[in-house]
Amino acid sequence: MKRQRILILSFTQIYRTPRVYRQIVFLKDLYELVVAGFGVFEAEGVEFHQLTEVRPRHIADRFLRKGLRILRLTSRQFEQYYWSIPEVREVLATFKGSQYDVIIAHDLHTLPVALALAANNGAKVLLDAHEYEPRHFDNSWRFRMLYQPYWDYICRRYLPRVDAMITVCQGIADEYARVYGVACDVLTNAPFYEDLSPGPTDAECIRLIHHGGLHPSRKLENMIFLMDRLDERFHLDLMLLLNSPRYARYLQQLKELASRRPRIQFCEPVPMPEIARSINQYDLGIYLMSPTNFNNRMALPNKLFEFIQARLAVAIWPSTEMARIVREHGCGVIAADFTIEAIAEKLNSLSVQEIERYKLGSHQAARILSAENNCRILRGIIADLIGA
């Protein structure tokens, strides 16, 4: 019997996008998968189309493209702007004659072209909204002027046409429902279950770990400054991934700050599937997300779930969705507010017994907060779409 075909569209580097990668793993044994994205990607039984990354060769070309983009956005030529995007044109040209049962569109960036393809072959469209795009960088005047009206237009024109929609957390699902009236299921960024146990805690050396991508907007220096306010028993390791050469200078600045603080060290990042096992040796996973915009306030990132799979206690600022998880499962401490002083107070007051109790909370939550649960949810949504 011929298997149903699914097209997965993502304008990202697939091997650096855990959410997309996990969905490929969830579905590849049940369906014939075709994946389109940037970079190099291989998975057994999966057909991959590598999209072309267009980079202007000359400064003049770059300024011309930027000027045209600003002109189209400020003059509300939203359709012309979208359909001029190189990867959109490539996807349309490559897949318009192909037949699929379901198209999974990752982020709103891929939604209009996914719907255009579906109109030709009757495929169902599942949108996976990784962010709340209309307020993605609403702390930036440039975003509010150029992109907020654009994403609002995309939402109002195209969201009513999707057959199903998922997103990363309840807060973002609620906002899409409130503003645009669309129903949205939640599929978290939880990694696969790891068969681990909490490690022992050394009262004289409590080890903190932060891992993740490097970006100045994340204000990672806050964790370095935090160490000035913590007891001598605390030590911090930073496992940072340099995703772009643009941030090499920022990484160097962080290293210079840390060099004057002997209880901080940098360690090499490990491949995504190895993160939980690699950091299982630590005591607390720490993530201080500044509430600079709506998506940051609602953030529920991979690393929180990786801390839990690693059976660590968790230390966070009171970000809405992360705090919901930590409270529900009793797996860590939440600062009273978004200040270094508040999280320092929480950490300094911890006893070894409390840390081990929070580690146990992560241990008990690990199976619930795993990709395996998300797999069942996604497979159910796809089955309903194909059977509809």
| pLDDT 10s digits, 266-301 | 999 998 889 999 999 999 999 999 888 999 999 999
Cα distances from 75 to residues 54, 85, 137, 192, in angstroms, run 24, 17, 21, 46
Residue 137 banded pLDDT, cuts 50, 70, 90: confident
- pLDDT for 272 equals 83
* Structural domains of the chain, with CATH: 5-190+370-387 (3.40.50.2000), 206-365 (3.40.50.2000)
In the 3-class helix/strand/coil scheme, how is 142-184 assigned residue by residue?
A: HHHHHHHHHHHHHHHHHHHHCCEEEECCHHHHHHHHHHHCCCC
- pLDDT for 215 equals 84
Residue 218 banded pLDDT, cuts 50, 70, 90: confident
Q: What percent of the chain has pLDDT over 70?
A: 98
6: Cα separation from own chain's centroid? 22
Rounded to two decimals, what is the model's pTM?
0.89
- Which position has the higher pLDDT, 112 or 146? 112
Using the predicted structure, report yes or no on whether residue 28 has a pLDDT greater than 80: yes
Q: Pick the closest to residue 127 from 385, 319, 388 (CA basis).
A: 385
| Spatial distance between the Cα atoms of 259 and 298, rounded to a whole number of angstroms | 33
| pLDDT 10s digits, 60-108 | 677 777 777 888 888 899 999 999 999 999 999 999 989 999 999 999 9
- φ/ψ of 327, rounded to 5, equals -65, -45
Residue 56 banded pLDDT, cuts 50, 70, 90: low
